[in-house]
Amino acid sequence: MRLLSLELSGFRGFPRHHRFDLDADAVVVIGANGHGKTSLFDGILWALCGRIPRPHIDDARLVSMYSDSGQARVMLRMKDAGTGRLLTVTRSFDGKERRVSVETSEGVYQGPSAEGRLIDIVWPDAASASDPSEALASVLTRSVYLQQDLIRHFVEAASDQERFAAVSELVGAGRVTELQSALEQAKKAWSTATTQRQEELRPLRERLDLIQSRLSDLTVRASATASAITPDAWSQWWRDLAAVGLPLNQVEPSSRDAPSAIDSAIKQLDALRRSTERRVNALRLVDTDIAALVSQPGPEIQALRDKVVAVQQQVEDLKLVVAQEQTRLAEVRRVQAALEENNEQLKTLAVLALKHLEDRCPVCAQTYDKKATRQRLEAMAKGGVGTASTPDKLPTLLTALAAKEQEAAAAAVTLRSAEQALSERHMVLESLRARLIELGLTASGTSRDRPAVAKAIAEADAAIQRLGELQRTGESLALRLAQSSAAAAIDELRVEGEALLRDTSERERAIAARNQTGELAQRVIEALREAGSAVVQQRLREIGPLLQSIYARIDPHPAFRLVAFLSRVFRGRGELSTVVSDPVEDKECDLPAAVLSSSQVNALAVSVFLALNIGVSKPPLSVAILDDPLQSLDDINLLGLVDLLRRAKDRRQMLVSTHDEAFGSLLCRKLRPSGANGRTVVIELDTWSRQGPVVQTREVKSDPVQLRLVAARAG
How does DSSP assign 622-662, residue by residue? SEEEE--GGGTS-HHHHHHHHHHHHHHTTTSEEEEEES-HH
Q: Kindly report the CATH number assigned to the domain that includes residue 6.
A: 3.40.50.300
**Amino acid code (one letter) for 419:** E
How does DSSP assign 256-314, residue by residue? TTHHHHHHHHHHHHHHHHHHHHHHHHHHHHHHHHHHHHHHSPPP-HHHHHHHHHHHHHH
Regarding beta strands 623-626 and 653-658, do their DSSP bridges make them parallel or antiparallel, or are they unpaired?
parallel
At which of 552, 585, 618 does a domain end? Answer: 618
Around 653, how many Cα atoms within 13 Å sit in the side-chain half-sphere?
Answer: 23
Average pLDDT over residues 488-492: 71
Distance CA 477, CA 257 (A): 14
Q: Are residues 533 and 588 in the same domain?
A: yes
User: With 70 as the cut, is the pLDDT of residue 224 above it?
Assistant: no
Q: Are residues 1 and 139 in the same domain?
A: yes
pLDDT of residue 715: 39
β-bridge partners, 689: 692
Least confident range of 243-247, 622-626, 638-642: 638-642
pLDDT of residue 144: 80
Q: Are residues 138 and 5 in the same domain?
A: yes
Task: Check: CB of residue 201 under 8 Å from CB of residue 507.
Answer: yes
Tell me how far apart the terminal alpha carbons of the chain are, to the nearest angstrom. Answer: 56
pLDDT of residue 77: 94
Q: Which long-range contacts (CB under 8 A, 24 or more apart) does 372-377 make?
A: 377/350, 377/353
**Amino acid code (one letter) for 622:** S
pLDDT of residue 573: 66
Specify the 3-state DSSP secondary structure of 674. coil
Band (pLDDT 50/70/90 cuts) for residue 714 is very low
Average pLDDT over residues 561-567: 80
Residue 712: inside a domain: no
Name the residue range of residue 630's domain.
1-144+619-704
The residue ranking higher by pLDDT, 447 or 35, is 35
At which of 590, 618, 646 does a domain end? Answer: 618
Band (pLDDT 50/70/90 cuts) for residue 47 is very high
Residue 124: inside a domain: yes
| pTM exceeds cut of 0.75 | no
Band (pLDDT 50/70/90 cuts) for residue 683 is very high
Distance CA 203, CA 224 (A): 32
CA 500 and chain centroid, separation: 45
Q: Where are the alpha helices (DSSP H) in 148-173?
A: 160-170
Task: Check: CB of residue 24 under 8 Å from CB of residue 700.
Answer: no
Q: Are residues 606 and 627 in the same domain?
A: no
Q: Which range in 17-21, 191-195, 698-702 is most confidently predicted, on average pLDDT?
A: 17-21
Regarding beta strands 98-104 and 107-110, do their DSSP bridges make them parallel or antiparallel, or are they unpaired?
antiparallel
pLDDT of residue 225: 43
Task: Check: CB of residue 260 under 8 Å from CB of residue 248.
Answer: no
How does DSSP assign 417-450, residue by residue? HHHHHHHHHHHHHHHHHHHHHHTT----SSGGGH
Q: Report how many helices (DSSP H) and strands (DSSP E) the chain contains, helices first.
A: 15, 15
Q: What is the DSSP letter of 225?
A: -
Least confident range of 219-223, 304-308, 423-427: 219-223
Nearest-CA neighbor of 504 among 193, 200, 195, 190?
200
The residue ranking higher by pLDDT, 648 or 322, is 322
Residue 89: inside a domain: yes
User: With 90 as the cut, is the pLDDT of residue 455 above it?
Assistant: no
How does DSSP assign 182-198, residue by residue? HHHHHHHHHHHHHHHHH
Distance CA 125, CA 129 (A): 8
Q: What proportion of the chain, given as a percentage, has pLDDT over 70?
A: 87
At which of 571, 600, 618 does a domain end? Answer: 618
User: With 90 as the cut, is the pLDDT of residue 7 above it?
Assistant: yes
Mutual orientation of helices 370-383 and 301-355 as an angle, nearest 10°?
140
Residue 149: inside a domain: no
Q: Are residues 336 and 420 in the same domain?
A: yes
The residue ranking higher by pLDDT, 397 or 387, is 397
Average pLDDT over residues 410-419: 86
* Cα distances (Å, whole numbers) of residue 166 to 142, 151, 625, 672: 7, 15, 18, 33
Q: Are residues 331 and 280 in the same domain?
A: no
Band (pLDDT 50/70/90 cuts) for residue 710 is very low
pLDDT digits (tens, 9 = 90+) for 84-134: 889 999 999 988 888 999 999 888 999 888 888 888 888 787 777 778 888
Residue 444: inside a domain: no
Q: Which range in 386-400, 446-460, 466-480, 635-649 is most confidently predicted, on average pLDDT?
A: 466-480
Residue 710: inside a domain: no
Average pLDDT over residues 33-37: 86
pLDDT of residue 169: 58
Average pLDDT over residues 131-158: 70
pLDDT of residue 99: 92
Is residue 97 packed enough to be buried (19+ CB in 10 Å), middle (13-18) or exposed (0-12)? exposed
Per the structure, the count of domains in the chain is 4
What count of residues does the chain have? Answer: 715
CA 163 and chain centroid, separation: 29
Q: Are residues 18 and 136 in the same domain?
A: yes
Q: Are residues 414 and 527 in the same domain?
A: no
Q: Are residues 332 and 383 in the same domain?
A: yes
Q: Which range in 7-11, 117-121, 297-301, 641-645 is most confidently predicted, on average pLDDT?
A: 7-11
pLDDT of residue 706: 52
Residue 711: inside a domain: no
Band (pLDDT 50/70/90 cuts) for residue 608 is confident
Q: Are residues 320 and 433 in the same domain?
A: yes
Q: How many CB atoms lie within 10 A of CB 678?
A: 17
pLDDT digits (tens, 9 = 90+) for 250-283: 888 777 788 888 888 888 888 988 988 888 898 8
Residue 713: inside a domain: no
pLDDT of residue 20: 93
The residue ranking higher by pLDDT, 470 or 526, is 470
Band (pLDDT 50/70/90 cuts) for residue 21 is very high
Distance CA 339, CA 385 (A): 9
* Residue 28 phi, psi dihedral angles, 5° rounding: -110, 120
Q: Are residues 597 and 656 in the same domain?
A: no
pLDDT of residue 272: 87
Q: What mean pLDDT, rounded, does the chain reach? A: 80
Q: Are residues 316 and 371 in the same domain?
A: yes
Distance CA 387, CA 617 (A): 137
Distance CA 86, CA 344 (A): 143
Distance CA 631, CA 646 (A): 20
